[in-house]
Amino acid sequence: MLMNDEEIGLFPFDEEDSRQYLEWVNQEEFTSFLGRCLPVTKSEHDAWYQNIIRSSGSVVFAVKTVEERRYLGNVWLHNIHWINRNAELRIFLGGAQSRGYGTRASKLLLKFAFEKLGLHKVYLYVSAANPRACRAFEKAGFTEEGNLRDEFFVDGRFVDVKRMAVVQRPAV
């Protein structure tokens, strides 16, 4: 376990977790928010998994409960820009929505990004049509930076996307 709070922790993302992730991303309730209309094949998923665990531009973690080590999903830093010291936060929790795990996992990843990687800013993109996710990110410390009009096509209509970010301010 790399980082944790009293309930959840960030763990290495292994092949067993990856198999569960593949099952979740192909469930209809998640595909619209992932921007996919076709199922992810095992070979596509395996290529993605190998690429993301080897990438110097991404860091991916499995989010698990501390006690039972139950896999809840993933959180990762994507498009890490080492010169500008920023990265995009991505999160997918297939095993536990509406329990506060997304906020907790985001806070743990921010701590890792700022304290371990020395990043200055972490940003994300979230559908404005997903107010629960927007609130969860606000609770984790993100503030809205802008709005991308009609960016995603979800359930037969275009929806706006919010860009949110946290900037690490130097201690004074």
Q: Where are the domains of the chain?
A: 3-167
What span, in angstroms and rounded, lies between the C-alpha atoms of 72 and 84? 31
pLDDT (0 to 100) of residue 142: 98
What span, in angstroms and rounded, lies between the C-alpha atoms of 14 and 69? 13
pLDDT (0 to 100) of residue 143: 97
Cross-strand pairs, 74: 62, 92
Q: Is the CA virtual torsion 32, 38, 42, 44 positive or negative?
A: negative
Q: How many CA atoms lie within 13 A of 55 on its CB side?
A: 18
What span, in angstroms and rounded, lies between the C-alpha atoms of 21 and 110? 22
Average pLDDT, the chain: 89
Tell me what the mean pLDDT of segment 114-132 comes to: 95
pLDDT (0 to 100) of residue 98: 64
3-167 CATH: 3.40.630.30
Give 36's pLDDT tier (boundaries 50, 70, 90).
low
